[in-house]
Amino acid sequence: MKRWQKAIQDNYGTPSIELVSGKGSVVKDANGNTYLDFLAGIATNVLGHAHPAIVKVVSKQISTLGHVSNFYAHPNVLELAEKLQKLTGDKSARTFFCNSGAEANEAAFKLSRKTGKYRVVATQEAFHGRTMGALSLTGQPSKRNPFKPLIKGIKHVPFGDSSAMKRAITKKTAMVIVEPIMGEAGVIVPPSDYLKNLRQYCDEKGALLVFDCVQTGMGRTGDWFGYEYSGIKPDVITLAKGLGGGLPLGAMIALGSAAQLFEAGDHGSTFGGNPVATAAALAVISSIEKEKILAHVDQVGAFLLAELALTPGVSEVRGAGLLIGLTLDKPVAKSVVKKCQELGALINAPGDTTIRLAPALNVSMKQAEIFLAIFKRALKEVTHV
């Protein structure tokens, strides 16, 4: 910890454990302690740690050709874009690759300027990243305030409130950006007709509809993209986290006429679409398909939701698939996270009463049962109930 403090900036605080290896949903720290990983790199390691398919293709790729830049084509980047196009079910889909969620949202933000308009409607408490553009879209005052003034022209309305959105979207709106389920805000699920309503309002006013699927994409909710249950399609999908299965990779996928807005020279990224990261993403997609992981996510997610709802000390359970948020009766979430860590499970607390679970999508039912036992014991010990 002393070495960390002497070499690393304090923006994260100092972590209490150092992880050195992992296999599937189990990680080991530098002292040899093992933990069930129910956070998975913050909803990122969708296939768990050291998945053989990722290890194989990444090892092969790095020993063949590690990086080429976007001056040159590479088969992986093309294959991945084609694969993503198939997953969207829309032949008009065109992908821009980058390295993170913030960059994917920056790309969407810039794309919206190419409509000739600049106003944006986003939602309060949403999280879209920490770079200046993405932070301007983010609706969390604690993250925004130290960095004001941010980009102008962005209105934040309450999440899930269709009427507020309807009032805010005008003919001057370039884009509306929402998370299908707000992740960092504590796994907040909107009313079932919300996304459909947004599609209608955007169509009426000629605004781009952007779904930030950085956290809810790549099978996390039991679908490829977190909006699919709504039956509508956005104009832009942003992805990162699970896409690279642990390697840094983001994507901004535009559909329909939005896919034609960027022209040569408008945007770029040196590392975006790197052959190693895209090899990992191809392995992620083919493993999710081959191992029938989406159905598994539904099954384990439903089991966890049902069991957690019956747990004393838990007042609300919400989410979809393996993105699960809990509200506790008492503001002890941070102590519960600490106690779980002592008992051998990693989770996180986005707020004082809120716990978030986002395990690997291939976490086993047995591991889910072991986790529940740890969590229930931790909650009991912390609240003395």
| Token couple for 238 | 């942003």
Residues ≥6 apart with Cβ < 8 Å to 298? 222, 321
| CA-closest candidate to residue 74, choices 247, 267, 270, 275 | 275
128 binds ligand PLP, rule: CB under 6 A: yes
Site string for ligand PLP, 232-271 (x = CB under 6 A): --------x-------------------------------
How long a stretch of residues is the chain? 385
- Report the candidate in 322, 135, 128, 325 with the shortest Cα–Cα distance to residue 239: 128
The size of the interface with ligand PLP (CB under 6 A), counted in residues, is 14
Give the 3-state secondary structure of residue 195: helix
1's tokens? 């910890």
Q: How far is it, in rounded angstroms, from Cα 57 to Cα 153?
A: 44
Q: How far is the CB of 241 from ligand PLP (least distance, A)?
A: 6
List 24, 41, 129, 350, residue binding ligand PLP (CB under 6 A): 129
Judged by CB under 6 A, the residue of 35, 127, 201, 375 near ligand PLP is: 127
Asked if residue 273 binds ligand PLP (CB under 6 A), the reply is no
Contacts with ligand PLP, 83-122, as mask; x by CB under 6 A: -----------------xxx--x-----------------
Question: Please, which residue, 137 or 379, has the CB nearer to ligand PLP?
Answer: 137
Q: How far is the CB of 63 from ligand PLP (least distance, A)?
A: 27
Query: Measured between alpha carbons, how far is 264 from 285 in angstroms, rounded to an integer?
Result: 29
| Gap between the Cα atoms of 24 and 50, Å rounded | 7
CB of 222 to ligand PLP, least distance (A): 17
How far apart (Å, rounded) are the C-alpha atoms in residues 49 and 35? Answer: 12
Closest contact distance (angstroms) between CB of 226 and ligand PLP is 9
**How many other β-carbons are positioned within 10 Å of the β-carbon of residue 174?**
21
Residues 180-199, one symbol each (x = binds ligand PLP by CB under 6 A, - = not), give: ---xx---------------
Q: Which residues form the interface with ligand PLP (CB under 6 A)? A: 100-102, 105, 127-129, 179, 183-184, 212, 214-215, 240
